[in-house]
Structure 1
Amino acid sequence: MLQGPTDRQMQLAAWSGLVVNVLLTLAKAAVGVHADSRALLADAVHSGADVFGSIAVMVGLRVARKPPDADHPYGHGKAELLSSAVVAAVLVLAAVQVGYDSIGSLFTAVSPPSPPAAWMAAAAIAVKEALYQYFHRLGRRLHSRSLLASAVDHRSDVFASSAALLGIVLALVGRWAGVHWLLYMDGVAGAFVALLVLKMGYDLARETAQPLMDRVLEGEELLPYERCVNGVRGVRRIDGLRVRDHGQYVIVDVKIGVDADMTVARGHAIAADVKQVLMQEFPRVLDVLVHVNPYYPDPPVDRGPRDSEEGGA
């Protein structure tokens, strides 16, 4: 497996996310039961789903860092994308379960939560926002899909805990002020948390699906690669350029036109230059496949099909 500072940073981030999610799940569940808070228990279910998501990210990172081999010549980068898809699926399933429980609580006798639930939700907001900032910045710097997916997950926790906190506070105010309908805000907050988590899971699944289906860079994303190839001495034209996204890295397929009367050795040297320049200029490029075409200043004349006497059977 490939080892290095980047790998160590990603593994440290994955482990830190896992440990924090386990601790938050246990703390929210314990306080939620003790304080009788539907919203906090819903948030605990969400954090429990995060534990599973963190494990999926760690497994994806471990597989993705394997070098290319005979069976996987383009590397194992899509394993990281699969882990992102697992995170998305877990978010959706957790949202369904949380929403079901929270909506059901609205049709039963309700009692207000106790103040510790509000303090636990506030603490969770602070911790999860810090994790979001850490994962988001590291994921962008390392071009890691799974770390960015985890960042989205942590941000969803911030929104979920904020909604839980609001519902808990309103329920407490309802008890103190004697406003009965406010007591249901704890359950309403749990249902709102479910909607937030469901949307996050859907958005993440949609973003992950594109690279899994061999998405290629388009438009302005492709321009820097085009400028780089055109800048190589001897390249007269780009006949085709595809940059395939594999998560942490990309694979470049390029067809270049060189002078038609050039020797094969010289054409090969230009192709080697194109590959070297692309890999030096763009750290995400893992490999470059260059196809050389003959370039004619004027298009060759189409002389049409041969006479039947010459080409007939």
Structure 2
Amino acid sequence: MKEQRFQKAEYAAWVGIIGNLLLSLVKGVAGMIANSKALIADAAHSASDVAGSIAVLIGLRAAQLPPDKDHPYGHGKAENIAAIIVSVILFFVGVEVAYSSIRGLFQQHIEAPGMLAIYATILSIIVKESMFQYKYRVGKKINSPAVIANAWEHRSDVYSSIGALIGIGGAVFGGKYQIHWLLYLDPLAGAVVAIIILKMAYDLGRETIHNTLDRVLQEDETKEYVAAVEKVFGVMHVDELFAREHGHYVIVDLKIAVDPKITVEQGHQIGKEVKKTLLLQFHNVKDVFVHINPYQTTYYQKQSDEPFLIQ
């Protein structure tokens, strides 16, 4: 199961690397031949996606490493780190595209781009949207934050290409009919693309950092875990249950109450059954730590009107 998950993620990363290399080359050459700043900026964006896909590939391989003395919970957060790297790359590309486009707006003489730029941009939109749909579905299916982040990187390229297409089309029209101000649509489109890229970098970075800092699942996300534990023979009450994300998997810490008259060995067996149940029923659960409490009748009667703590 784990090996199959990695193979799907690795294949998706290689699709991104090869696809973006070809696209950045096509758009870069077409942008220089057609004299389009918007298309050249779009080519730079695609080139950054190559670095992003490589970061994802490295993160996926690191996440596959088994637990060791320094990382007893495994290396799952390597995928989150890869996703953060992708967002940082996006940010710097956005800054560079913004600088280049704004500088182009202040040029006194602007030449109209050629039709080749339009054809290359349309090709980019089709290819990048296809890559987004493929990677997003794979990322959701295997629960990989790195692959999902990389998919959104492709979607940002779609938006940037659409912006570039509008700007290039306007500039081509302006050049054909001698409407000078329309020529500025090309660098203006590049500036709009930069804003879209920066916004996406911010959203990706914020979400991934939030998840990296041991985000605890909320009550509605852990109801199934609690229900499964309550069905285990010998469990009289679930006192606490904390489930925290660790990359693409979840680690569960919980306290259960058992009959105080049973032996330590019997309590231990109940705890083992709880762990076994969670690991078997939920594929995203990587490890479970169970603490055994004695069931106290007076305490639970007092707490009966209050819901037990689930986070």
Q: After TM superposition, is the score higher than 0.5?
A: yes
Amino acid at match of 2:10: Q
- 1:8 pairs with 2:7: yes
Using the alignment, how far apart are the partners of 1:219 and 1:129 within structure 2? 35
Using the alignment, how far apart are the partners of 1:18 and 1:299 within structure 2? 59
Q: CA deviation at 1:3?
A: 6.6
Using the alignment, how far apart are the partners of 1:172 and 1:219 within structure 2? 55
Q: TM-score, normalised by structure 1?
A: 0.93
Using the alignment, how far apart are the partners of 1:104 and 1:212 within structure 2? 37
Aligned to 2:193: 193
- 1:54-100 per-residue CA deviation (whole Å, 9 max, x = no partner) reads 11001000100111122211000011110000000000000000001
Using the alignment, how far apart are the partners of 2:298 and 2:219 within structure 1? 28
Aligned to 2:82: 83
Percent identical = 46
Using the alignment, how far apart are the partners of 1:64 and 1:33 within structure 2? 40
Using the alignment, how far apart are the partners of 2:299 and 2:183 within structure 1? 79
- 1:287-309 per-residue CA deviation (whole Å, 9 max, x = no partner) reads 10000011111239xxxxxxxxx
Aligned to 1:40: 39
Q: Which structure 2 segments of 5+ residues have no match?
A: 301-311
Aligned to 1:169: 169
Using the alignment, how far apart are the partners of 1:232 and 1:214 within structure 2? 27
Q: CA deviation at 1:177?
A: 2.5
Aligned to 2:146: 146
- 1:107-134 per-residue CA deviation (whole Å, 9 max, x = no partner) reads 0021110000000000000001110011
Using the alignment, how far apart are the partners of 1:200 and 1:219 within structure 2? 29
Using the alignment, how far apart are the partners of 1:83 and 1:287 within structure 2? 23
Could you list the runs of 4 or more consecutive aligned residues of structure 1 that deviate by over 6 angstroms after TM superposition?
none
Query: Could you say what secondary structure the match of 2:299 adopts?
Result: coil
Q: CA deviation at 1:49?
A: 1.0
Q: Which structure 1 segments of 5+ residues have no match?
A: 301-313
- 1:114 pairs with 2:111: no
Aligned to 1:267: 267
Q: Over the residues paired in the alignment, what is the CA RMSD in angstroms?
A: 1.3
Q: CA deviation at 1:165?
A: 0.7
Query: Could you say what secondary structure the match of 2:235 adopts?
Result: coil
Aligned to 2:204: 204
Using the alignment, how far apart are the partners of 1:125 and 1:247 within structure 2? 31
Using the alignment, how far apart are the partners of 1:12 and 1:150 within structure 2? 13
Query: Could you say what secondary structure the match of 2:297 adopts?
Result: coil
Aligned to 1:56: 55
- 1:163-189 per-residue CA deviation (whole Å, 9 max, x = no partner) reads 101111111111222221111000010
Aligned to 1:281: 281
Query: How many matched pairs?
Result: 299
Amino acid at match of 1:62: R
Aligned to 1:30: 29
Aligned to 1:303: none
Q: TM-score, normalised by structure 2?
A: 0.94
Larger radius of gyration: 1
